Amino acid sequence: MSRTVLADCVGDEVCKNIVNSSSVMQLRVSQKQNITKPLSSEEILRSDHTGACTTTILTDVLTTKGNWQNGHQHVDANAEYFGKFYRSVLSIPGGRVHAIILHDSLPDEVVQNYTTADGSIEFVKVNPSHYESQLGVNDVRWPMIRDELRKRPDLNVVFMTDISDVQVKRNPCDLVLQSPHKLHVGSEKSGNSDQRNKWIESRFQDMGGKYKDWLDTLEDHHIEPFYNAGLVGGTRDEVIAFAERMSEVIGDPELTAKVDGKEINVNMGALMYILHAERDASAIFTGEPLHSNFKQYEDGRNDVYFIHKL
């Protein structure tokens, strides 16, 4: 058993149980330097056949709310929208990657046809009207995910992902268990981009208050790493704690957008604030081999666990 992994689990029996159930032979730890080395692409491939732990991916297809980033167009309520993600989950050998697709209005026929008998793909209907009406389509999913996780205390490793532009290439469970107290998050290409800085500044304008004050401490409003809310995971305890905090920030009654009566689309700003202002960088894992280069359409890669974007 890796001493590094056990050290991360001190005082945490749930964490220890998860680690003990995993194939820890996947973890190559330098005894001299006490550093966990990355797995090779061949080891990643083999881990899907030999690993013992399970990853559950929560994602969503919400069709009753329009997306502010594409003119408030609504997603079509059909399987084409989630087809690549769906097929990628089913292609992982071993049956240890499960997906829960939250939806608000998929036809019964689609749900019945695409639900798998072995539980690999499960659809759960949610009602957006049970949540704050001002929340945009990308923000309302956070309290939805929080509530779904509250109902499932038995989950081991959990990821929240986008669905239309994400492929699952491997079971990330063993990767997570190398650092069970880290949050695993997607990120975009590094670099100071005026366009990206202005885009995130608009999100913080809608947040206002202490959130905008924090952004104003950064030169040119440049945030690095530039995390992405379309891929977040870790042990269940890590993810539910993060979903709780995201829901709190997004639901802050003092948000400028809330006070002004606007639609609230601040999940990326909330993510940046929580991970940079409230969480130590050493408690975050991002980049390869967790995910491909963002928006580089590297769907042919097999040396990463997720492709984002397709």
Residue 94's pLDDT is 84
- Across the chain, the runs of DSSP E, i.e. the strands, are 55-61, 97-103, 121-125, 157-161, 166-168, 183-187, 227-235, 284-285, 306-308
**Per-residue confidence of the chain (310 residues) as pLDDT tens digits?**
443 344 455 455 545 554 444 433 343 333 333 344 566 666 766 666 666 799 999 999 999 999 888 888 898 888 999 999 999 999 998 889 999 999 999 999 999 999 999 999 999 999 999 999 999 999 999 999 999 999 999 999 999 999 999 999 999 999 999 999 999 999 998 887 889 999 999 999 999 999 999 999 999 999 999 999 999 999 999 999 999 999 999 999 999 999 999 999 999 999 999 999 999 999 999 999 999 988 767 888 889 999 988 5
Residue 154's pLDDT is 96
- Quote the distance between the C-alpha of residue 251 and its chain's center: 19
Residue 49's pLDDT is 66
Residue 106's pLDDT is 95
What residue type is assigned to position 259 of the chain?
V
d(CA 126, CA 119): 19
Residue 159 main-chain phi, psi, to 5 deg = -130, 145
d(CA 305, CA 171): 7
CB atoms within 10 A of CB 55: 26
Sorted by where each starts, the structural domains of the chain and their CATH numbers stand as: 3-308 (3.90.550.10)
CB distance 66 to 97 below 8 Å: no
